[in-house]
Chains A and B, each alone.
Chain A
């Protein structure tokens, strides 16, 4: 809203509304005035803006590689344009449906289970206090720092056919053993479970931080009125946390078309027979392109994934705005 106001102002200021020349000068004058007014804030933001520009925006020029046939001796800009040829292989893939379905379904599962579990854990943490709190936080947060390669080995310790923990337990209970890596069905549960175990600590802390920001006045008032703890959770904490949940949800949607390569490569260990339920876009592209080493096709896939991500974010935001304007991201 702050954005629209100055534009209106300038339109009113402009002596001849139809004259583009005059409109431009008044626009510039207006910008200069805004700049003077917010100078300190802008300078404060400058390092961040520059960082973002160099690290996130400048490399976007590389996106043109998706439409080129890159050669080292001609450089990025000198290489020949090839249109959409680099996108071809992904759409020609016999498994296109399978990998897109897996990517989308798994990502939805991760977002939904992650959000619910993190909210629950954050609510529980919020009820705790003192030294125990730190221990819980650390225990929750620790898996977040493990590399997927390591998690792959931990998974293998569980799922190995001969010496794995899972099969030992099954054998102990007198149940038939499984050759987990050669089956498809178990992965639908194993992968979200590991994703949850690994990622939940981070989002829990984010939600917990959000909860500590809620003014204690609300709770005091509720207590005076005789509200129970459950009531306080559902009537005060959760509603006040809603905007944060929505923001994280929308941001999560931005990566809906981009799978977690580490999770889907190192945990199922690249074993063909489980591909029907573990193969996602990223692992497929890895397998397809490692031999060729084709930069352009890889760039094309990255471009596509980002593009779909952008569309989902914008449309999710649009829907949120239609329902509840205040909670939209932009």
Chain B
């Protein structure tokens, strides 16, 4: 009797709990319904587009098609997105008898949506991809997401865009299987690590920047700052901004799959333990700096260095990809203080694959998609339309090279590097008139490492790769920011790497590296 009376209440509670659990599950799935919702919107759009198209005469013999292009943006481009899209379609219809549905997605939603759309087998045409960031090239290729773009297809449908890209850079587009699955967005392709130093301190303490070639050379300056400038962080580091060390004897730019000694004709791969041992002295120095108060105490905790730099009180910080004209953007990040770049590494070619367009394997019109990619990379009008919007409405032209964006105009995707060959872009106020010429020169003069184009196929070493990744994450930031004592932590780190299968992992990588070198005739 007693129990019988209680039961309905518990049932209610249970169902409540179950509902709560369900809504939790639901969170992870929200991406797919909304993705399919946006998909269901596109057929109707294309239907109306084709209906209006059939009324007028088609300019080319190509059949009319509608393409879908998804790409990441930092923030919603604005309310005029549709207006610009229509303007683009007007132009594209004349050029290649196609229309395109532009689907900008913010950085945080891009990856899950791309994933959901691919998993649902949607037939979108063009997506944005990169090596190591959003739409990560190799893993998606491994999962059969992107369409292979053979040389003859590129030669047929995108010859002009291909002609812009130096042949010596092209191997970078090759995936682990030696085939090409994307078309690069040509931009800065050289990487040089630099210190960013606020100009006011350089002037005040007469720092001769030409004497600084490595992290060590900055120590006296940091000490001066620490002693004389209260409230100033001499060296600002964070979880997303550390790694001052550059081995002067190795060719091992950040992000390269393997590194090798400069004087080693056999290009033997440098193992992880050797890399760490070479940094022993550096880690000790960083720890001393951290304890002396040169480095911000929250360096290993801080997620985003720009949160700290925004206050304008970070004297020295780190830039991984210093590029011509970069000081202008950096000034805004440093709370409006002028900065100078002081290079501390060689300039390396880092690849043209850091931004690219890929074609979905499920695309119904891959040829036309490639033609659109060709136009995006070669057609100045189209490129600037998609980057900056409509002239007079979203920007004004100040001369033949420069434009001034109109504030709050309703269209500002702020991502020249998302859409196509950046050297076609109009310059924005404050940039050098010869910014693009300088960048192209930097690209051409950059050292191309032998490892360019080599990427690791982790199929056989997946478990080890995952665990090494987790272990690396645990120790590297703490060591690089000097927060922990390397005498204790470095051996611990090394032992854990070894226990997590480093040997097996590196043996497999060495085999692949060997095969790669043999393929190039270098061994």
Contacts and interface: CB of A to CB of B under 8 A. Distances in A.
Interface in B466-482: 466-467, 469-471, 473-478
Interface stretch (B36-44, B298-306, B323-331): B298-306
Contacts of B22: 51-52, 55-56
Contact of A89 (B21, B140, B466, B474): B466
A94 B467 contact: yes
Contacts of B300: 181-182, 271-273
A52 B17 CA distance: 12
7 contacts: A48-B15, A72-B143, A72-B361, A93-B470, A271-B477, A272-B476, A272-B478
B470 A95 contact: yes
A170 to B, nearest CB: 15
A6 B125 CA distance: 58
Contacts of B398: none
B483 A72 contact: no
A88 B500 CA distance: 12
A39 B127 CA distance: 52
A70 B473 CA distance: 26
A210 interface: yes
B72 to A, nearest CB: 15
Contacts, number: 142
A75 B121 contact: yes
Interface in B435-465: 458, 462-465
Interface stretch (B3-11, B203-211, B278-286): B3-11
Contacts of A89: 462-464, 466-467
Nearest to B121: A75
A325 B471 CA distance: 47
Contacts of B119: 72, 76
Interface in A144-170: 156, 160-162
Task: Report which residue of A94, A160, A269, A289 has the largest number of chain B beta carbons within 10 angstroms of its beta carbon.
Answer: A94
Chain A, interface residues (CB within 8 Å), range: 35 or more
Contacts of B463: 88-89, 92
Most buried by A among B14, B297, B476: B297
B314 to A, nearest CB: 14
State the majority secondary structure of interface residues on A. Answer: helix
B15 A292 contact: no
Contacts of B142: 71
B374 to A, nearest CB: 25
Q: For A56, A89, A270, A275, which residue has the most chain B Cβ atoms within 10 angstroms?
A: A89
B73 to A, nearest CB: 21
Contact of A294 (B298, B462, B496): B462
Interface string A84-99: 0100110011110000
B466 to A, nearest CB: 4
A210 B9 contact: yes
Contact of A179 (B6, B13, B297): B297
Interface stretch (A107-115, A117-125, A189-197, A243-251): A243-251
Contacts of A290: 469
A287 B144 contact: no
Interface string B45-87: 0000000000000000000000000000000000000000000
A213 B118 contact: no
B139 interface: yes
B17 A72 contact: no
